[in-house]
Amino acid sequence: MNLLSLLGVAYLVRATLAGSISYSGPTVNTKNGTYGGRHVPTYDQDVFLGIRYAQVVTDFLQKVVRFSRAEPLNESWDGVLPATEYKEHCWGYGIDWTGPNADWSGYPMSEDCLYLNIVRPANLTNTSRLPVAVWIHGGGFAKGGGSDKRYNYSYAVRDAVNMDKPFIGVTINYRLSVWGWLMGKEAMEAGAVNLGYHDMRQSLRWINENIAAFGGDPVKVTIVGESCGAEALAAQILAYNGRDDGLFRAAIGESGFGGRIPRFHPGGFNSTVADQDLFDRLVLNTSCAGTVGTSATIPCLRNAPFDEINHAVNVSGIAQWAPVMDGDFIQDYPTNQFRDGRFVKVPILIGANTDEGGYFRGLRGNANVTIINSDDDFKNMVRPVFADNVEHATGKSVNELVDEIALIYPNIQNVGIPSLQAWPVVISETTPDLEYLGLQDRRGNAFGGDITNIAWRRKSNIYWSQHGIPSWSYRFDAVPDGIAVACVFNDIPGEGYRLKPLLSEANKALAKKVSGAWIRMIADLDPNGANEETTWPIYNTSAGGNVGQNMVFNVNGSFIEYDDFRAEALLWFDNHFLDVFGT
């Protein structure tokens, strides 16, 4: 049977299944066909789950589409196609942590995974024209998915209705790890790089074409993301040299917005040698080993058994697959594009946690140096962030650059992270659990947070101010530090968390404040509200000597600060984004 025949069978099966089902729930007519959702009376909402937004894998088409760009949905059906259950996450991380076909959080996975989910207030029509928020999940481009319970938009959509600022929430899947982020010249030549970004782009096109049928306004879309999801927002803003396809009108980035987040390969977009080595190691661990270095590699991998590639990912490096500069989706370094104004000029709300570094011990330098007790430990941790060719780019040796870092990140606990105000303990030889911390832990945390998230956050706000585009900046300063996402979704029940993150009344109040600001940004393009105690200023570099101001979210009361902490250190990153970090 040829490919066209197979496609015909797929269409007939879908059409027959859809047409044979009698449906009583909410329905929506799109250009491809009618979807049947599910009404949730608890929140007076309609949900449409597991909607395919692109032509992707089915069992018998797997060899045709793996490592290929997502294509627009080209099927149609009669009757009602149920959209009442979440679909599988995309394959990520290459490890079955909790059982067959399940990722680290226990969600089933599949190569057939390009689906999205929609949560809306009930009884909308195709003329309701509500704003839309599209969530792009984090997870290092290696894990996660749109059906993760932590990203349930029901609470925020309910709150938005109560605020008289209703919106529609959308969550998406995109391909992960090797399946979405191949690197190497063979993948580049085959157009098989940055597939995860192309997946996101295709989901935004689907939303642009279809969301009006669900009651949304295609010209009022805000893209929202956390960690690598925030990095992805910046990539969509920079895509195709800043081409504006009219797919979104604003962005909200949490802990990751800006250039490429430094990962295990030093040099950022210049790490082509390391990228090629990783790709070759992948291929050498499959039956395609004989094709290494040839144009036959990608066709061979497309036909290789899934389990074989999955095993190869495990032995070649699971978290190192990342975006590359391909001359197409990513045409230039973010530094150059932002400086020159080659990006989609939309308002942004971006920020980071006070202590990002505690979560990125491996990414902040040498993954083998996790305990920092001395200056040598600190320098050994920092040294691997520099590529071998950095001397040619900067005129300085690696040791000279390491010494500069050591100077601007001094071993002074009062300026490290967490601050002595947040954790009033001076780390010493008698500190409990010192074997897990290290005497210079605060020093390492400050560096780790700046290199991964905070330096680019500040520079992005500065670029927006220089180009006259509204932006807002925040610093999330709550304990425990990892509750920011729960606050954004106002997930008071703690759905999807092993331990409920918002137990205290103070944390619940903070979640309401944060979620409310996000809702207003989605609805009004401004996070401020008439009844808010503190006005959140637009980031303006004339406000504080070349920097603007941050909203500081704190359980003891949120406030405004000048964005001038670690000024010398963050200026050093600003001066070296391009020549040292290749971004």
Using CA atoms, how far apart are residues 480 and 482, in angstroms rounded to an integer? 6
Contact (Cβ atoms closer than 8 angstroms) between residue 582 and residue 394: no
Alpha carbon of 117 to those of 85, 172, 323, 472: distances in Å?
A: 9, 6, 25, 28
Contact (Cβ atoms closer than 8 angstroms) between residue 190 and residue 218: no
Q: Which helix (H) or strand (E) holds 208?
A: helix 195-210
**Residue pointed to by tokens 């929506």:** 28
Bridge partner residues of 83 (DSSP): none
Contact (Cβ atoms closer than 8 angstroms) between residue 9 and residue 195: no
Using CA atoms, how far apart are residues 84 and 542, in angstroms rounded to an integer? 51
Bridge partner residues of 170 (DSSP): 118, 134
Using CA atoms, how far apart are residues 91 and 173, in angstroms rounded to an integer? 10
Q: Which residue type sits at 531?
A: N
Contact (Cβ atoms closer than 8 angstroms) between residue 339 and residue 238: no
**Residue pointed to by tokens 């259950």:** 85
256-274 burial: b if 16+ Cβ within 10 Å, else e: bbbbbbbbebbbbbbbbeb
Structure tokens at 448: 């780790």
Q: Which of 227, 271, 471, 558 is catalytic?
A: 227
Contact (Cβ atoms closer than 8 angstroms) between residue 534 and residue 557: no
Q: What angle do CA 271, 275, 277 make, to 5 degrees?
A: 120
Q: Which residues lie closer than 8 Å to 335 by C-beta, 6 or more apart?
A: 259, 577, 578, 583
Using CA atoms, how far apart are residues 37 and 21, in angstroms rounded to an integer? 13
Using CA atoms, how far apart are residues 136 and 130, in angstroms rounded to an integer? 19
Q: Is 316 a catalytic residue?
A: no
Using CA atoms, how far apart are residues 364 and 383, in angstroms rounded to an integer? 10
Q: Which helix (H) or strand (E) holds 252?
A: strand 250-254
In which region does residue 473 sit, left (phi positive, over 0), alpha (psi from -120 to 50) or beta (all else)? Answer: beta
Structure tokens at 470: 């509204």
Contact (Cβ atoms closer than 8 angstroms) between residue 558 and residue 582: no
Q: How many CB atoms lie within 10 A of CB 433?
A: 6
Alpha carbon of 94 to those of 142, 312, 526: distances in Å?
A: 9, 9, 40
> Mind telling me the catalytic residues?
227
